[in-house]
Structure 1
Amino acid sequence: MYVCICNALRDRDLAQAASHPDATSAAKVFQRCAARPKCGRCIPDVTEIISSVQISRDDTLNEAAE
């Protein structure tokens, strides 16, 4: 599904960029996608994707530590 229409970025593209350890903000995720937010309507969705990827990554790390 397209999340950022201005840059034609899909949820999976953004999730992949958000999975990088230094992708802690929407600006950094856009940077990893070689794009810049234009209208800004997608920023809340990108922030939500970052949170969900971080939670998933933390859960994976916790399971590995057990």
Structure 2
Amino acid sequence: MYVCLCNGYRSSEIEQTARAGGLTCPVKVYEALGSGPCCGTCLPTAQEIIDDAHAGRSAKISAALPLAAE
């Protein structure tokens, strides 16, 4: 599932990058993927994915992004 529409980042990419790099901050994960956040709408969802990754849970998105409904 796409999490960041501005950069085209998927939940799996965010999860894998956070785990591999031991990263806990969405901005650092995005930088490791090649760019920083743009509008920031995705940051709460990205943080949830990162927290789940470090807690040993698979990413489970609890809410859809507002932009996804547009």
Q: What is the TM-score when the length of structure 1 is the normalising length?
A: 0.79
Q: Deviations over 1:14-46 (max 9, x none)?
A: 111111243121111111111110000000011
Q: Which residue of 2 aligns with 1:46?
A: 46
Aligned-pair Cα RMSD in Å: 1.4
| Structure 1: stretches of 5+ with no match in the other structure | 58-66
**Counterpart of 1:6 in structure 2: which amino acid?**
C
Runs of 4+ with deviation above 4 angstroms: none
User: Is residue 37 from structure 1 mapped to residue 37 from structure 2 by the alignment?
Assistant: yes
Length, aligned pairs only: 57
Q: Which residue of 1 aligns with 2:11?
A: 11
Q: What is the TM-score when the length of structure 2 is the normalising length?
A: 0.74
- Whether the 8 Å contact between 1:22 and 1:28 is mirrored in structure 2 is no
Q: Which residue of 2 aligns with 1:28?
A: 28
Structure with the higher fraction of residues in helix conformation: 1
